[in-house]
Amino acid sequence: MDPYRFCQSCSMPLDNVEVLGTEKDGSKCLKYCRYCYQNGEFTHPDMTLDEMRSVVISQMHIMNLEEDIITRAVNVLPYLGRWLSPTPPYLSTK
Ligand SMILES: [Zn+2]
C-alpha cells in the first residue's frame, strides 16, 4: 500500500501521513508530498527540473544538511516519477 518512499517530485521522504499530498477528493496521495501536490494538482505545475533542483538545494541548506546528502538528493531528482517522462517540447515553450 506504500509503493513510494520518496516524493516523486522533490525527493522528500514520505515517512509520515501528514506529509502526503492530497487528491481532489481529499484522499491522500501516496506519490507526492503536500508541498508539491494538493487537491489533485501540482502546487507549481510550471516548475521545471532545474527550478526544482534550486528549491531542493536551498531547502536543504536551510535544514543544515551536509553537502553530500544534498548532492545525492539532487542527483536523484531526474529519476523521480514527475521528471521521468519529459514534457513534450510543444508544451515546454513559454
Ligand atoms: Zn514533493
Look at residue 80 and tell me whether its pLDDT is greater than 50: yes
Q: What letter does residue 79 receive in the DSSP assignment?
A: G
Residue 56 Cα to ligand 1 midpoint, Å, equals: 9
Tell me whether residue 34 is in a domain. yes
Domain count, the chain: 1
* Res 69: pLDDT: 93
The three three-digit cell numbers of residue 78, written as one number: 531526474
**7-61: pLDDT as tens digits:** 999 998 899 999 999 999 999 999 999 999 999 999 999 999 999 999 999 999 9
Tell me whether residue 65 is in a domain. yes
Tell me whether residue 27 is in a domain. yes
Residue 86 Cα to ligand 1 midpoint, Å, equals: 18
Residue 90 Cα to ligand 1 midpoint, Å, equals: 25
Look at residue 94 and tell me whether its pLDDT is greater than 70: no
Length of the chain, in residues: 94
Residue 76 Cα to ligand 1 midpoint, Å, equals: 13
Confidence category of residue 86, pLDDT binned at 50, 70, 90: low
